[in-house]
Amino acid sequence: MKTKKKTGDIVTLIVLILLSVVVILPVLFMVTHSFMSDHELNASYGKILTSSKNDEDDAPIEIDAHLIPQEPSLKGYWDVFLATPDYLGKFWLSLGLCAAITAGQTLLACLGGYGFAKFKYPGKNLLFALMVLLMMLPLQVTLVPNYIVLDKLGMIGSYSAIILPGICSAFGVFLLTQTFRSIPDSVLEAARLDGANQFKTLLLVVIPQAKAGIASLVILNFIDTWNMVEQPLVFLKDRLKYPLSIFLSQIKNADLSRAFVCGILAMLPVLLLFLHFKDALMTGIENSALK
């Protein structure tokens, strides 16, 4: 029995190591290539970037893929952080949009989730079912109705066209409804006996006990907003207003070092947020019964 258990542990360890390599290798690849010069990057991958799909020659393209820079250079970091401030500006723009959407959706989700979880009123179950149905619709299906509404409101072309639909997302309300339902009603009754009104009960009792669920919402919403592509392309008319997620695809092939540095810049906020709140994320998902 012990031998079988050890064999199983070894196999599990090998599988986990292989999966870790698969996940870490692209990140390591991006970090090391950010320290390569444009000349080295073009010499290694230029044939892929300049090749045409209509080429009659079907011969395989040879590339020189390597992790360790042969011509170390900080030009990419110089361009992104000092020489060309556009990239860094897009980073702060994306961060501001994510912060506004995340804060607004969290506030709305706390109020809506509390109403669905702890109040009784006619039609509550029907409203909740409709909200879940709305949440299940793909984003592409709602783009056209959102565009029509935002156009009538005169918001197309402004950042409010991205922020407002993001705040009114059904996912946050659904997640916090499930989280608030796990809080015993006896705790709320004790707060009311102490003289707390509904607002104080939510603020001082419910929210502190649902920190993990709220942290999960913040992380998941931030990641989704940080990587948004369709909404800026549809709702913003000016290319100069595009966030970093769109701006990355516009970097020219001649600026490969900038592309890798901007990729690291785009990865850092999500990575740091996840590493800091990973325990709260796991606990919040478990408490909300999202498995």
CB 174 within 8 A of CB 132: yes
pLDDT of residue 291: 45
Instruction: pLDDT band for 104, please (50, 70, 90 cuts).
Output: very high
pLDDT of residue 261: 86
Cα(98)–Cα(212) distance, integer angstroms: 20
Return the percent helix, strand and coil in the chain, to nearest 5.
Answer: 75, 0, 25
Percentage of the residues of the chain whose pLDDT score is greater than 90: 12
pLDDT of residue 86: 78
User: Which range among 81-90, 141-150, 182-191 shows the weakest confidence by mean pLDDT?
Assistant: 81-90
pLDDT of residue 36: 83
How far, rounded to the nearest angstrom, does the alpha carbon of residue 16 sit from its chain's CA centroid?
Answer: 25
46-78 residue pLDDT tens: 666 555 544 555 556 666 677 788 878 888 888
Query: Is the predicted pLDDT of residue 105 greater than 90, yes or no?
Result: yes
Over residues 238-245, mean pLDDT: 84
Instruction: pLDDT band for 98, please (50, 70, 90 cuts).
Output: very high
Over residues 263-276, mean pLDDT: 85
Instruction: pLDDT band for 100, please (50, 70, 90 cuts).
Output: very high
| More confident call, 204 vs 41 | 204
Percentage of the residues of the chain whose pLDDT score is greater than 70: 87
Burial 171-200 (b: 16+ CB within 10 A, else e): bbbbbbbbbbeebeeeebeebeeeebeeee
pLDDT of residue 107: 93
Q: How far is CA 13 from CA 18, 19, 24, 27, in A?
A: 9, 10, 16, 21
| More confident call, 110 vs 246 | 110
Cα(116)–Cα(201) distance, integer angstroms: 15
- In CATH, the number for domain 84-287 is 1.10.3720.10
Cα(252)–Cα(262) distance, integer angstroms: 12
Mean pLDDT score of the chain, rounded to an integer?
82
CB 38 within 8 A of CB 256: yes
51 burial type by CB count under 10 A (0-12 exposed, 13-18 middle, 19+ buried)? exposed
Over residues 214-233, mean pLDDT: 89
Query: Is the predicted pLDDT of residue 288 greater than 80, yes or no?
Result: no
152-166 residue pLDDT tens: 998 898 899 999 988
Give the start-to-end residue ranges of the domains of the chain.
Answer: 84-287
Query: Is the predicted pLDDT of residue 135 greater than 70, yes or no?
Result: yes
User: In angstroms, what is the C-alpha Rg of the chain?
Assistant: 24
Instruction: pLDDT band for 274, please (50, 70, 90 cuts).
Output: confident
Over residues 105-131, mean pLDDT: 90
pLDDT of residue 97: 92
